Every structure is written in structure tokens, then in C-alpha cells.
Structure 1
Amino acid sequence: MSNSNPIGFFDSGVGGTSIWKEVIQLLPNENSIYLSDSINAPYGEKPIEEIIALSKKNTEKLISMGSKIIVVACNTATTNAIQILRDTYPLPIIGIEPAIKPAALGSQTKSIGILATKGTLSSKLFSKTSELYSKNITIIEVVGNGLVSLIEQGKQDSEEIKGLLSNLLKPMLAAKIDYLVLGCSHYPYLVPVLKELLPNDVTIIDSGEAVARQTKKLLLENNLMNNINISPKHLLFTNAKPEILANLVHAKKNNLDVSYLNF
């Protein structure tokens, strides 16, 4: 395995690029491969067995493409399949969980909101993390039904999504939350709309920065940092519509290679 081999990423769709952006910003010398499994999005509404099977499929594809480390840029896949992936495959695998800890520790109102998929909120790993940090804190959990599908259609700025979010946020606003945890890697693309709908004193928090720091830590620990000083190569693939993925990452402006791939 060469240190110049890419970091592999996968998500149930285009949303994991919010994590990918944080990682390549922190590690500008690293090559990357991103798999957007949009044809199977959203994972959050699927049975656990299917989530595990899809996670294995994506992991094996990334390994076959030479990935030296894999970032599971999907909350649902992490909370339901990460331990199985780590037990099955020999390379370092990083997951993404809702950032409950910083929200719970930072909250002044002792009331925080978590917007996530059904698959994440119903998982054992989420329950364990939630229990750990929920003492003396009220956690308002809301399933973001319909949000991933709209983002996959490129409608993250639409009136449709604004109306949907307005309804989803009602129980959180009623509970006077001061932190909103985004528990799905698609949701950071909703931040501009969320800022319009939420009071100024609500802090929106996601896991991207923490995942980037953990990726760097594991690369250093495993002596896998790319020390060859060349322009990095980023390959982004989707098994649905490349134009939606390309628009989201501003492919032309950033000179990124976005392609269709049947996987």
C-alpha cells in the first residue's frame, strides 16, 4: 500500500461530500475517491440488514480502487454497520456520529435538538451515545423524513424544503433548544435555510470537522500520510445523476472529476 493511495469515502448519496470537503481541506496533500450511492438513497429508511449489505458493497468497491483508509461519510451506515466493517476489513475505517457531546456540554437551556434519519435514531450506537450525554439534558429527536430525497434531487434551496423544515423544527423551537445537531451528512447543505428558520441564539453543529481530525490522526498513527508534494487527485463517482453531484461540489470551478459509475 503506497502512502499516495487515496482516502476512500462513501455515503448513501451526495450528502457525504460535506464530510469529504472538511477532510480534503484539513489534508490538502491527500488523494481521494468518493462514492455516492444515490441509487439506493436514503439509507435511513431501509432495514438494518440492507444497510449492512450496502455498506459492505461500498467498502469492497473502495478497497478494489486502492483506498488506504475509508471514511464512512454516512450517519446511518456508521451507526448500523461500522463495527461489522471494522471486523471484516483490514484497513482503518472511520465513522461519523451525531455530535451530541459538544451540544450537550455547551447547552445553556439544557435542551438540544437532533435532526437525523430514522436509521440513525433507531440504532443501538446512537442510543448508547445519547444515554451517555443526556443526563440533565432534554434531547428533542426529529426524523428528517423527505429531506435526503430532496437534496438528492438538488432541491436543497427550494421552497419545498423550507416548508418541510419549518414543520420539522416546530417541536424543537417549542422546547427552546439552543443547539441543533445535524445527524445526517446530507444536512449541512441545509444550513443556509436552517439559519433563516432558527433564532440567532441556536448553534448548528455537525460532525465534519471532528471526522477530518480523526482521519488525520489515523493516517499519522498508521504512517499513511501522503508526503509526495504533488497536486492531489480527487475522483467522485455516482450511480445516479452526475450533474447533481457536480453542482454540489462546484466541479467546474474546483476542477473536479465527477463521473457516473455502476456499483
Structure 2
Amino acid sequence: MRVPFSIMLVATLLMAAPAQAQDLAATCHASSSYDVTLRPQGVLFDRPTPAPMRVEVHDGSLRTDGVAVVLTAPQQDRLSVFERDLRALAPRVRQVAQNGVDMAAQALREETAGLGLATATRTEFDRRLAAHASELKQRIAGSQSTHDWQGDLIQQYANQVSADLMPLVAGDLGQQAINAAMSGDLQAAANLRDRAGSLATTLQPRLQQRMQALRPQIEALCPAIQRLARLQQGLRDARGQPLNLLQVGAAGGDAATAPSD
């Protein structure tokens, strides 16, 4: 398994709290070894190994590793519904992801509001944060593939945001420490230096806790994901093996029950 299915679609939520991935991953109890790309002419599922490495679904037709699969009429209908439902799920996922960006940005603003930063620092922090949030939401809106949001790419983006914002806050706290030391308050200066040094590590768990408020929106996606799992049941690849584009665990209820043809 590469990434949980629900989270490879909503991985963009990790901009402010990368460690939230595993917690949210368990929400819909679903996983896939494939990446998914929505194309004008169908949906592509691909993975490095094992076969089938490319599964193409379009308008009731199925190709696995370039070989057309013969389907019954009910199977074609079910595959058409699968593609339709998957495409309908995508904008819902994007909306949840964008809501997550807004929630994370607001959480960062509220967390930094209590640090006593200079007005100029707060203004610049808000400007940079708004720019990062806007850029990320645009990337979410334009993304058509989970290849855009694999783990290392998510972490790299989160690191870029942190590298831009955290030094700004730490620098302000450092200046406050210098000012306190020059005024003779050495204890306050030491506290401020410690606070600046531990800012990133202390901020992350608080952001993770705040992001729990997004869980109901993730849970609302689970029935659609479980329905996709049911729709694929009974479909086989060109070699006659179960397709298994998506796996849902026991907590997914009756997701493993195949509809009758």
C-alpha cells in the first residue's frame, strides 16, 4: 500500500500539520496501492508494481496494462457508475482540503496572536501566510492526480512554508529577548530565547489538535468511498484476477459485499 485512499485524495490537508496524516488515514479505513488521475477521457489508476500497473476506466470500458477487458452489460453499467461517482467525489474532496487550508491558516494566526509580536511582524506574517494559503488552494483546485500530493512532496511543501514563516516569528521573539536582557530582565530574556528555539516543535501539536475539527468533514466522505469499494467488487483484470483498485477494512462495514450482476 502506498497511501490510504481517502488521504491520498485529501493529502493537501497536511500543509500545517503533516503528522496528522496517520490519524486522518484511519477515518475511512480505506487504502489503495494505486495513484489516481482524472483525465478528460477516463480515469487512470497506476502503480509501479505489481501487475496490473495501469488500469484505465472510461464510459463503462476497462483496460488493464493496455489489454481490453470483456465485461457483461451489468458490469459495464457498474463501471460507469464507479467512474461517475469517483469524479463526483473529487470536488467534494477538494472543498474539504481547501477548508483544511483555511482552518490551518486561522489556527496559525490565532497561535501567533498571543506571542506579543511587533505590529510590523504580525503584518508581514499575515501577508506571507495569506500568500501561502492562496497558492496552496489554487494548487488544490487545479490538481487532477494524487501524484501531485505524494508524501515527500507534501512534507517538502510544509517545510517550505515553515521555513518562510517560523524564522520571522523566532526573529521577533529573539529581538524581544535582547531588549529584555538590555533592560536587565535576564529571566525574561532566557524565557523568550527558549520560546523562540522551541517554537516549531511546540506549535505543531497544538495545530494538530485544532485540525481535529476537520474530522467530521472527512467522515462525511466515507460513505462515498465505501460505495466505490462495493462497485468494484466482482470486476477482474485482463488476467482474470480481482481488480482491487480500493480496499476497505472491516470498519468499512459491508463495503466488501459485491453487488449482483
TM-score, structure 1 as length reference: 0.30
Q: Which has the higher strand share?
A: 1
